Amino acid sequence: MHSALCLSRLIDALNDKVGRLLMWLILFMTLLSTGNALIRKFFDYSSNGLLEAQWYMFSAVFLLGGAHVLLHNEHIRIDLLASRYSPQTRAWIDIFGTLVFLLPTVTMVLWLALPGFLESFRLQEVSANPGGLLLWPAKLLIPAGFILLLLQAVSEIIKRIAFLLGRIDDPLEKHVQPTAEENLIAELKRREDATPKGAAA
């Protein structure tokens, strides 16, 4: 289990790093989109390459970011029933859902997407639009994103099993550090409670 947890931590670190890089990509994509719009407005010039670059970056954020979202348990969930169960029962539900739904779906997408990417790469496929970009980098994003998602699914299973065995705390419980404002409010509240009621008068 120690080796499995080490693997889980490596996967988590990888997807966390990818997620942080994608945050910067969102900023760059926004700047590129703004710049492209301004150039088109004031200089009456438009580039299919720039437009497709925006689409590629959006695709990268959407596809490569899925594993980062799973890592932080931020996918949309309907916990009408699961929220009433114990943490151990929720861990079993997550293991079942990952094995029965997530892993088969990811495997199927990889099986369908890889041949398309390999063929596009072999042909060095280019966009049909004048001045367009190569297509295979965009098609590579599909298997790359789902490989990251597959790895994160394995990591989540490892963490749930380790939790059930008592090796780690509940991975679904968020350990959020309080902000400076929250610390200040807590300190003021503590001082207020410590001050005798008649002292202020």
Quick: pLDDT tens for 86-97.
888 888 988 998
In a domain, 98, yes or no: yes
Amino acid 42: pLDDT: 86
Flag whether 188 is in a domain: no
What is the C-alpha separation between 68 and 61, in angstroms, rounded?
10
Rg (CA), the chain: 24
Q: 109: which 2 tokens?
A: 């997408």
Q: Does the pLDDT value for residue 131 go beyond 90?
A: no
Contact 146, 113 (CB under 8 A): yes
Q: What is the mean pLDDT of residues 153-170?
A: 88
126 - beta bridge partners? 134
What is the SS3 assignment for 78?
A: coil
pLDDT-derived band at 188, boundaries 50, 70, 90: confident
Per-residue confidence at 23, pLDDT binned at 50, 70, 90? very high
Under the banding of pLDDT at 50, 70 and 90, the label for residue 176 is: low
- Find the domain containing 103 and state its range: 2-172
CA distance 52 to 168: 45
Is 51 domain-assigned? yes
What is the number of domains present in the chain? Answer: 1
Q: What is the DSSP-derived secondary structure letter of residue 125?
A: -
Tell me the mean pLDDT in the region 55-82: 84
Task: Report, as an integer, the average pLDDT of 154-164.
Answer: 91
Task: Please tell me whether residue 175 adopts helix, strand or coil conformation.
Answer: coil
SS3 196: coil
Q: For residue 134, what are the β-bridge partners?
A: 126
Q: Please check the confidence at residue 34 and state whether its pLDDT lies above 80.
A: yes
Does residue 193 sit within a domain?
no
User: How many residues belong to the chain?
Assistant: 201
Is 96 inside any structural domain?
yes
User: Does residue 8 sit within a domain?
Assistant: yes
Look at residue 177 and tell me if it is in a domain. no
- For residue 165, the tally of other CB atoms under 10 A from its CB is 9
In a domain, 38, yes or no: yes
